[in-house]
Amino acid sequence: MAKRKLNVAMIGYDFMGRAHANAWRQVGRFFQDAPFDPVLKVVVGRTEAKVKEAAARLGFEEHATSWQEVLGRKDIDVVDICTPGDSHAPIAIAAAEAGKAILCEKPLANTVADAERMTSAAKKAGVVNMVCHNYRRCPAVALAKQLIDDGQIGDIHHYRGLYLQDWIVDPKFPRVWRLEKARAGSGSLGDILSHTMDLSRHLVGEPVEVSGLLKTFIGERPLPEDPARRGKVDVDDSAQALVKFANGAVGYYEGTRFAPGRKNYNRFEINGSKGSLVWDLERMNELELYVESGPTSGFRTISVTDGKHPYLAAWWPPGHIIGYEHSFTHTVYDFSKAVAEGKSPRPDFEDGLKNQRVLDAIERSAATGQWVKVGAPIHPERTMDQSERRA
C-alpha cells in the first residue's frame, strides 16, 4: 500500500542541507517501516540562482527565496532548518505558529532567551520538534546507551568528551560565519562542544555545575568577500569545561578547531564502577568495552555492524560498515516516526534549551573564573568582559 506523503521544506542547502536531503531521500528506501514517503518539496535559500541549482542537484521539486512564504503554505508538513544559528529562532517560531513539525540543526539557538522562546512556541503549538544531534543515532552510540541503561558498566563516575578539529589553525583561513558571534552565537563551544554536551546528557545525565575556559587564539582574519581586509573573530577558538553531573559523576569537555591532525575527533570515554566505554566518530562502527572479568579482562572492540545492533537491520550484512551520513538517515527515520505518532523524539527543543543553558554556564564561568550552576540567574558580573576582569 502506498505510504502517505510527507512534504518537506528545507531552509539552507549547503553542508547540512546536503546531509539532510540525502537522509530524506534514503530513509524510505532502507527502513521498510518508515511511516511516510518523504517528498523533497521545496528548498529555500537567499540567492535565486544558487538555490535553483541546489534544488536540481539535491532533488527538490521547487526552490524559493522566502522562508516566510514557504511556511505559509498548507502543503508543507515539515520544516527542516539547516541554516546558521542566527536564523533558527525566527524560522522555528514561525514554523511552530504555522503548525509545522520542525527538525532544527544544532545548537538550538544562539542564546538561552531564543531557545526559551523556541521551546515555548513549539509547546504552545503542540508541534513535533527535534534538534539534530545526530551522533546519538550512530549505532555504536545507541549500543553504548543500551549497555549503560542495562547497568553493564555500573554507576558512572567519569565522562570525558573531546571534539577536536584543525580547520582554522591557519591564520590565513577566512573569517567565515562560524567565527562571528552575531551569526554563530559562539565558536567551538556551540559548534562542536554542543554535541559532546548532548552526548553526555544522553549517556550520563544532567550537568549541574561547570568551570569553563574559553580561548580565542587568532583575533582577526581575512574577510571571505575581500581577503585584503580583516574582520574581528569574536568567538572562542577553544572551549573546555570541568563538569559536575546531577548523579554524582564528574567529567571534562574539550572542543577545539586548533588540534592539528585531528579532523573530526568526536570521542568519549565513560568510566563506571564495573567497566568503561570508549567511542570515536572517526572509527564510528566500533565500540570499545571494558568489563572487569579477572586475569583475561581488557578492552575489547565490538564491531557494531550486526542486524541485532540499533538501526543496522535496515542496512548491510555484518561487517559491511556504515558512515557519517547514516546518522542523519537514522535521525530522519526517528523524526518521521515521531511525526506519525504526534510525539516529539529526543533530543527535542527542551533538550536543546537544557543544552543551551550548559553552553551559557560555560561562557559565564569562563568570564568570571568561577564555577557556575547550570541555569543559575544571570549575574551582574556577566556584563564585564574578560579583559576588564583581568585588569
Site for ligand NAD contains 255 (CB under 6 A):
no
Q: How far is CA 324 from CA 80, 168, 171, 203, 320, in A?
A: 19, 22, 28, 20, 14
Q: How far is CA 348 from CA 229, 325, 355, in A?
A: 41, 21, 11
- Decide: helix, strand or coil at residue 250: strand
Question: Taking CB under 6 A as the criterion, which residues in 3-42 touch ligand NAD?
Answer: 11-17
Minimum distance of ligand NAD from residue 9's CB (angstroms):
11
Nearer to ligand NAD, 157 or 326 (CB): 326
Binding mask 187-206 for ligand NAD (x = CB under 6 A): ----x---------------
- Decide: helix, strand or coil at residue 57: helix
CB 171 within 8 A of CB 218: yes
d(CA 122, CA 98): 10
The owner of cell 557556575 is 372
Question: Taking CB under 6 A as the criterion, which residues in 62-101 touch ligand NAD?
Answer: 67, 82-85, 87
CB 317 within 8 A of CB 308: no
CB 162 within 8 A of CB 268: yes
# binding residues, ligand NAD (CB under 6 A): 21
Choosing from 63, 100, 106, 221, the residue that interacts with ligand NAD (CB under 6 A) is 106
Segment interacting with ligand NAD, rule: CB under 6 A, options 44-52, 70-78, 203-211, 248-256: 44-52
Choosing from 46, 124, 232, 343, the residue that interacts with ligand NAD (CB under 6 A) is 46
Question: What angle is formed at CA 12 by the lines to CA 9 and CA 13, rounded to 5 degrees?
Answer: 95
Minimum distance of ligand NAD from residue 359's CB (angstroms):
12
Site for ligand NAD contains 272 (CB under 6 A):
no
User: Residue 239: what residue type?
Assistant: A
Nearer to ligand NAD, 305 or 331 (CB): 331
d(CA 106, CA 318): 31
Binding mask 357-386 for ligand NAD (x = CB under 6 A): ------------------------------
Nearer to ligand NAD, 193 or 203 (CB): 193
Q: Which residues bind ligand NAD (CB under 6 A)?
A: 11-17, 44-46, 67, 82-85, 87, 105-106, 132, 134, 191
